[in-house]
Structure 1
Amino acid sequence: MLARGNRMRTSEDFRQTIRFGRRSARPTLVAHVVPGGTGPTSVGFVVGKAVGPAVVRNRVKRRLRHLLRSRVDQLPAGTHLVIRALPPAAGQASSSLAGDLDAALTRSGAL
Structure 2
Amino acid sequence: MLPAAHRLRRPAQFRAVLRGRGAGRSGGDLLVVHAAHVSRPADGSVVPRVGFVVSKAVGNAVVRTRTKRVLRHVVAAELGAVPADVDLVVRANPPLAGAPTPRVREDLRRQLHQALSRLR
Count residues in correspondence: 110
The residue that corresponds to 1:71 in the other structure is: 78
The residue number in structure 1 matching 2:10 is 10
Cα displacement (A) at 1:19: 1.0
Gaps of 5+ in 2: 41-45
1:1-111 equivalence runs, <5 A = 1-20=1-20, 21-35=23-37, 37-38=39-40, 39-109=46-116
Percent of residue pairs identical? 40
Q: Deviations over 1:64-91 (max 9, x none)?
A: 0000111112210121000000000011
Q: Give the 3-state SS of the residue equivalent to 1:50 in structure 2.
A: coil
Task: Please give the alpha-carbon distance, in whole angstroms, between the structure 1 residues aligned to 2:75 and 2:39.
Answer: 19
**TM-score, length of structure 2 as denominator length:** 0.86
Q: Please, what TM-score do these two structures have when normalized by structure 1?
A: 0.93
| Structure with a larger share of its residues in helix | 1
The one-letter code sitting in structure 1 at the alignment partner of 2:100 is A
Please tell me whether Structure 1 or Structure 2 has the larger radius of gyration of its CA atoms: 2
Which structure 1 segments of 5+ residues have no match? none
Query: Alignment RMSD, CA only?
Result: 1.3
